[in-house]
């Protein structure tokens, strides 16, 4: 049985850059699908019917096999179709057995070759159809980034973001039409980036350099409290680090942050790995708005913010791998709902600062087990002409894993 769909990677060098096998696939096709630009790269004497993608193209990808029954379909894709490309979407929709992929060097490989960068030491960030704020989570001094964008305005957007976060001295190179006859580059610093637009086929390379006085944000949980806009409803830094250690973020997993306040737990869960997902549930509309702003500024704009009061607001949310309850722990109803929703092997962590909240945690520990920890933190502060310890309110942490 032949493969229903063949995906051919094609670069800016067009037909000349295709391997003999890829050319044969295109020449034998009954139907060619791709963007208008990609279809125009195929010679006129190739007889296949050419069908450009509609906008949006998602439904067309999902219905591709049914749209061309019994015909040999070849899909043209940019570079490596499995790197933030249409090949990934087709495999997701139809399964790996229904798709054959013939890649060519990706824009990432070509960019690293031009710059002399090791691919394995370079962080790739795709903002194709996504907010450029995603770049912020990867901005630390000395890091090398390759940003894949949707159009020629991406380099300027990346430069503005870097300058706004205190990294205006970063070196930026926009590499356009890689491996094609019109290949060229644009160079500058983030703060002085002079190119409003470059080219639709562009990769943005960044060598991150901090401006004087910029304090890098760590990759591990426990960001400084002043990294967040908040009204006092914030899990403080030291308690936050301990709480996230017990939540144990794992790539690909989903967290519910219930009573999210400033959103710090969900945000730092997502900063652990790009595949980590989180839902922040907050009853205050003003705080919910602020959570979204904090998430975007700290590089995780994909944080889902639900404005509503738990436990009712938890209905119809996707099943979580971990749950944090940081606010509203005044009755048995909320932990009951969270425990019932949790996947087997999932972690539930709840914090309390009141006697009433502690009583709820103690009752649940008696019922399902887990560990109770009381955390006391004190900070040095002036006492007259001397220095003393100023204690914060103790926090009781209950952590448990569902069998």
As given in the structure block, the two tokens for residue 356 are 């009433």
Compute the distance between CA of residue 45 and CA of residue 68 in angstroms, rounded to an integer.
Answer: 22
Q: 108-208: CATH homologous superfamily?
A: Tetrapyrrole methylase, C-terminal domain (3.30.950.10)
Compute the distance between CA of residue 213 and CA of residue 351 in angstroms, rounded to an integer.
Answer: 35
**Residue keyed to tokens 């049914």:** 66
Per DSSP, which regions of 149-261 are E strands?
Answer: 171-176, 184-189, 202-207, 254-258
Q: Any long-range contacts for 246-253 (C-beta under 8 Å, 24+ apart)?
A: 246/347, 246/349, 246/397, 246/399, 247/322, 247/324, 247/347, 247/349, 247/399, 248/322, 248/347, 249/221, 249/273, 249/276, 249/322, 250/276, 250/321, 251/275, 251/276, 252/276, 252/277, 253/277, 253/321, 253/322
Compute the distance between CA of residue 186 and CA of residue 172 in angstroms, rounded to an integer.
Answer: 8
Domain ranges of the chain: 5-104, 108-208, 225-402
As given in the structure block, the two tokens for residue 33 are 């699908």
**Residue keyed to tokens 């006085």:** 213
pLDDT of residue 59: 93
- In tens digits, what is the pLDDT along the chain, a chain of 403 residues? 456 899 999 999 999 999 999 999 999 999 999 999 999 999 999 999 999 999 999 999 999 989 999 999 999 999 999 998 899 999 999 999 999 999 999 999 999 999 999 999 999 999 998 999 999 999 999 999 999 998 999 999 999 999 999 999 999 999 999 999 999 999 999 999 999 999 999 999 999 999 999 999 998 999 999 999 999 999 999 999 999 999 999 999 999 999 999 999 999 999 999 999 999 999 999 999 999 999 999 999 999 999 999 999 999 999 999 999 987 677 788 999 999 999 999 999 999 999 999 999 999 999 999 999 999 999 999 999 999 999 999 999 999 999 9
As given in the structure block, the two tokens for residue 20 are 């003999």
Q: What is the bridge-based pairing of β-strands 277-282 and 254-258?
A: parallel
Instruction: Give rounded-to-5 percent helix, strand, coil for the chain.
Output: 30, 25, 45
pLDDT of residue 328: 66
- Are 229 and 253 within 8 A, CB to CB? no
DSSP 146: E
As given in the structure block, the two tokens for residue 12 are 């800016």
As given in the structure block, the two tokens for residue 302 are 């994909």
Structural domain 225-402, CATH architecture: 3-Layer(aba) Sandwich (3.40)
Q: Residue 374, SS3?
A: strand
pLDDT of residue 321: 98
pLDDT of residue 1: 42
Q: Which residues contact 229 (CB under 8 A, 6 or more apart)?
A: 262, 290, 293, 294
Q: Which residues contact 180 (CB under 8 A, 6 or more apart)?
A: 11, 12, 13, 14, 201
As given in the structure block, the two tokens for residue 57 are 């193209």
- Are 178 and 203 within 8 A, CB to CB? yes
pLDDT of residue 113: 98
* CA 222 to chain centroid: 19
* CA 11 to chain centroid: 26
Q: Please state which CATH class domain 5-104 belongs to.
A: alpha beta
- Are 326 and 261 within 8 A, CB to CB? yes
Give whole-number Cα distances, 186 to 127, 174, 178, 182, 201, in Å.
19, 5, 12, 13, 13
| pTM (2 d.p.) | 0.92
**Residue keyed to tokens 């690293």:** 112
């Amino acid at each position: 049985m032949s493969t229903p769909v063949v995906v051919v990677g094609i670069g800016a060098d067009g037909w000349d850059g295709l391997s003999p096998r890829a050319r044969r696939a295109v020449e034998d096709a009954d139907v060619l699908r791709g963007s208008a630009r990609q279809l125009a790269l195929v010679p006129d004497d190739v007889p296949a019917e050419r069908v450009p993608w509609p906008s949006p193209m998602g439904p067309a990808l999902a219905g591709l096999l049914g749209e061309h029954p019994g015909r040999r379909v070849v899909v043209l894709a940019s570079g490596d179709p499995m790197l933030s490309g249409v090949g990934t979407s087709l495999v997701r929709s139809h399964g790996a057995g229904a798709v054959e992929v013939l890649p060519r060097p990706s824009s990432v490989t070509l960019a690293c070759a031009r710059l002399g960068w090791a691919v394995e030491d370079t962080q790739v960030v795709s903002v194709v159809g996504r907010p450029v704020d995603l770049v912020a989570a990867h901005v630390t001094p000395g890091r090398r980034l390759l940003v894949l964008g949707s159009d020629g305005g991406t380099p300027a957007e990346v430069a503005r973001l870097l300058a706004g976060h205190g990294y205006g001295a970063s070196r930026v190179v926009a590499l356009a039409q890689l491996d094609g006859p019109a290949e060229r580059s644009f160079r500058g610093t983030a703060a002085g980036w002079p190119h409003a637009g470059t080219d639709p086929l562009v990769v943005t390379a960044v060598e991150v350099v901090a401006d004087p006085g910029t304090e890098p944000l760590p990759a591990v949980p426990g960001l400084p409290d002043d990294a967040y806009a908040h009204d006092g409803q914030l899990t403080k830094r030291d308690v936050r680090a301990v709480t996230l250690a017990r939540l144990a973020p794992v790539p690909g997993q989903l967290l519910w942050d219930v009573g999210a306040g400033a959103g710090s737990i969900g945000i730092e869960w997502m900063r652990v790995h790009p595949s980590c997902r989180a839902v922040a549930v907050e009853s205050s509309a003003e705080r919910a708005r602020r959570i979204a702003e904090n998430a975007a500024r700290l590089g995780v704009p994909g944080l889902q913010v639900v404005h509503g009061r738990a436990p009712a607001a938890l209905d119809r949310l996707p099943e979580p791998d971990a749950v944090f309850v940081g606010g509203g722990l005044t009755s048995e109803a909320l932990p009951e709902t969270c425990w019932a929703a949790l996947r087997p092997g999932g972690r539930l962590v709840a914090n309390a600062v009141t006697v009433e909240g502690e009583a709820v945690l103690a009752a649940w520990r008696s019922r399902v087990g887990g560990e109770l920890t009381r955390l006391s933190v004190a900070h040095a502060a002036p006492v007259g002409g001397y220095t003393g310890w100023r204690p914060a309110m103790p926090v009781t942490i209950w952590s448990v894993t569902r069998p």
